[in-house]
Amino acid sequence: MTTSPTQGPPGPDLPSHRAPTRRQEDGRPAHEQRPAVSPHEPSLADAEVTRSRPAPDDGRRTTGRPHVVVVGSGFGGLFATRHLAKADVDVTLVSRTSHHLFQPLLYQVATGILSEGDIAPSTREVLSGQTNATVLLGEVTDIDLDSRCVRSQVLDSETVTTYDHLVVAAGAGQSYFGNDHFALWAPGMKSIDDALELRGRIFGAFELAELAWDEAETARMLTFVVVGAGPTGVEMAGQIAELSRQTLRRDFRRIDPTSARVVLVDAAPKVLPGFDDSLGRAAHEQLEKMGVDVQLGAMVVGVDRFGLDVKDSDGTTRRIDARCKVWAAGVQASALGAQLAEQSGAELDRSGRVKVEPDLTLPGHPEVHVVGDMMALEGLPGVAQVAIQGGEHAAREIRRSLAGEATGEPFRYKDKGSMATIARFSAVADVGGRKFSGFVAWVLWLAVHLLYLVGFKNRVTTLLKWTITFVGRGRSERAVTQQQIIARRALAQRGQDAATASTTQAAPTRSGTESVSMSTDVERDGPAGGDADGDGSHTDEERDAVPGDRGLDVREERVRAQQDG
């Protein structure tokens, strides 16, 4: 195993971190020295990771054992790693996050039932007892099949890790079907950041509705649109409706939270398209009973900060005014899939998933397995069980290869059923060919999700919070901050600024004021957007639906004063 910071491809001259290390002036080994970092550079834990700092490595390359690299800490990656615990190999798991995310419960983080820690335990903690496993933080940016190396990056630190076997389980992100600009106003729900942003937007909408000056503005604030009538969309719409009609009904004085309008929109002709028709009808009826406005055969063709445009099946286009929009329709596999396809000659499906061999390997590369949301095989759905079983299958194939046994056994998926919860005491489930709805399905849903949560303490805290929510109708995770809402836009703006700076670095400016910092742009635009009329000022209507906009205006005035001075 070789793991090293680099500016180029790996080679035989890469340093071993087991080699003797020289001591610096402070008496620590060279690889533990903390290099000087500019205070203006991005930092993580006070800039502990920089381009000159060696990457973590426990020196297992000296064991001479085969090296397995796993990309991604989701279901596929984590279960593949754990399934190799007793194998005579070294395993390195590389992930862009430091946690394992139980994605099916993200909507409960967004609606204040659970905290992010309840569904996202630290990957290092989960694997702390597995002595042959190493965890590296970093987003994999390149996989070179010929040289068998993986390149990952976090902040300004780049790491190259070589492998003998590779499991790619990098997952998928939200798809906007070619309209990525919709994401600015309609966040998806694929990460902890997404869920926290949506929590801020949902609860913030109620807060600003309490401050609204007329009925039209109050109506906009209290209209919530969920795009996508699959399991995630159904669960999200049901929880927003329950939140407004139960949890918040006594908490405000000027507005009536129970009057909130929740709209579920989908171009499909039915709710829960992947489920049996009877279960789809049961979910549809329950949603309408809760007051959710279900609009099917309706395609979203435009999204802005004040609402969205919908095209019905008859071709007519109409407007839905709403400040809070949630996108729960469509997925797009990681961009790593395109890299693997280009190098191996594999095909991609329309969602960017790699069409793998029956044993989940890449064509011509039996040492590379692709699992989870990144693989396309026999129309298997992108659900947790496919990823879990795929990761375990890949691990078994690796163990057979190391033992000199025949490999290439086709992957056989065991369908354990499908479930979706709608609200308290209400769900639909298809288990072993038997179909359930209502309270029985809800109990099954609770049991299955508790079973697959990673970690005993996570199960206990989740069960406690479910008791608070479903029995007492309270929600323990209602704290929101402005940063939750503006962070995504701030990071996007930072990337745009960096790209602009790289192309205009040599161009002079008249007074130095044309180049505006990322923080100034975000403060000028508010939590989720800019100046609609382009005059550099904000009307009240141009402010977004989050608390504390006046604080942004004050900081903007200070910045302008400094520039003018």
Higher pLDDT, 530 or 124: 124
Helices within 75-169 (DSSP H only): 75-83, 106-110, 116-119, 123-126
> 235 catalytic, yes or no?
yes
Minimal CA–CA distance to 198: which of 330, 327, 319, 331? Answer: 327
Identify which of 216, 197, 220, 221 has the alpha carbon closest to the alpha carbon of residue 527.
Answer: 197
**pLDDT category of residue 553 using cuts at 50, 70 and 90:** very low
Catalytic residue among 158, 235, 242, 367: 235
Question: 89 pLDDT exceeds 60?
Answer: yes
Tokens, residue 427: 């769900």
Amino acid 437: pLDDT: 94
Mean predicted confidence (pLDDT) in 24-43? 38
Give the three-class secondary structure for 327.
Answer: strand
Q: What gap in Å lies between CA 311 and CA 328, rounded to an integer?
A: 18
Tokens representing 146?
């010929």
Choose the weakest-confidence range: 38-47, 55-64, 311-320, 368-377.
Answer: 38-47
The pLDDT value recorded for residue 323 is 93
**Position 59 pLDDT exceeds 80:** no
Q: Tell me what the mean pLDDT of segment 187-193 comes to.
A: 93
Q: Which residues contact 22 (CB under 8 A, 6 or more apart)?
A: 29, 30
Rounded-to-integer distance, Cα 461 and Cα 467, Å: 10
Res 505: pLDDT: 60
For tokens 């057979």, name the residue. 400
Q: How would residue 455 be classed by pLDDT, with cut points 50, 70 and 90?
A: confident
Say if residue 481's pLDDT is above 90.
no
Q: Which residue has the higher pLDDT, 52 or 408?
A: 408
Least confident of 293-302, 304-313, 457-466: 457-466
DSSP string, 287-313: HHHTT-EEEESEEEEEEETTEEEEEET
Segment 48-59 shows an average pLDDT of: 39
Q: Which of 402, 397, 411 is nearest to 356 (CA)?
A: 411
Please report which confidence band the pLDDT of residue 10 belongs to, taking 50, 70 and 90 as the band edges. Answer: very low
Instruction: Say what the pLDDT of residue 474 is.
Output: 81
- Stretch among 2-6, 173-177, 370-374 having the lowest mean pLDDT: 2-6
- For the beta carbon of residue 537, count every other beta carbon within 10 angstroms: 11
Mean pLDDT, to the nearest integer, of 238-260?
94
Decide which of 235 and 463 is more confident.
235
pLDDT for 185: 92
